[in-house]
Structure 1
């Protein structure tokens, strides 16, 4: 996963969210309030991603005392990638929420929304970081090229007359 791709996702989602939220607000609609549970849930999800990735990390670092199901490792990789992409998209969405209320920070309710959106951006960043790190944990170490070459005295490599 490349950082520039995640940045593009955050910027595109942020711009689209800001445009839609601005349109809703200008047409007289109310933008829904940000619940305090959103950042908490995002942080808990980030912790769950890291916990799910720990066995894969141990195995790829050489601790093979416990077997690792390849399907589980693949699922952890998919979870990590999805978490990074979702974190990037949510950073854009919550940043748009913060930018929307930025001109009206003198109003107490708008200031509270700004701070809640800021906390949600940080929590989304934690989810993105957890996904990024766990995806790196899922990478297999490079193969040793000397292991692929059979020894010279191996009878299976000797040509038969």
Structure 2
């Protein structure tokens, strides 16, 4: 599995931001208030970030040499996938919320728009936390480099022919 490049979350966030900015006006004119955001959405994103970090921590500890108990390879692989999914979801949500904040900026002097912009900014920050947590867990799950040229412990290296 290849690690997520830094450009992937950036591109996802930019695309989601453009979509969020472009869709906010027409949907608001249709009577769909996209700018209202329940506080539970922010809490759910932060809980997901904490769960992602919590599931990645044992893998990190195992990779750092704390091998009190065996690590299930399937669990480690699922943790990597969760980290990648969290990073991509966090970047998509971050872009979506920032796009909506940009839409609200010209009207931020009005109290309702100002409150919505603040709520969306808080949601964008929570999404950034999820993005960072996902990338961090993915990094924690990376296996150490195998050195095929190193001699086995306690033995001599085989000659190369």
**Aligned residues, how many?**
153
Q: Who is 2:150 aligned against?
A: 146
Look up the SS of the partner of 1:146 in the other structure: coil
2:23 is equivalent to residue 20 of structure 1: yes
In 2, the alpha carbon distance for the partners of 1:49 and 1:91 equals 17
Runs (4+) of structure 1 exceeding 4 A deviation are: none
Give a deviation string over 1:34-77, Cα, whole Å, max 9, x none.
11111111111101100000110011111111110000000000
TM value normalised by structure 2? 0.88
In 1, the alpha carbon distance for the partners of 2:115 and 2:151 equals 60
**Higher helix proportion:** 1
Q: Who is 1:120 aligned against?
A: 123
| Cα RMSD for the two superposed structures | 1.8
123-132 or 142-151: bigger deviation: 142-151
Q: 1:147 to 1:85 in 2, by over 3 A?
A: farther
Paired residue for 1:90, among 90, 93, 96? 93
Paired residue for 1:46, among 39, 44, 49? 49
143-152 or 55-64: bigger deviation: 143-152
Q: Who is 1:31 aligned against?
A: 33
Long gaps (5+) in structure 1 = none
Q: Who is 2:132 aligned against?
A: 129
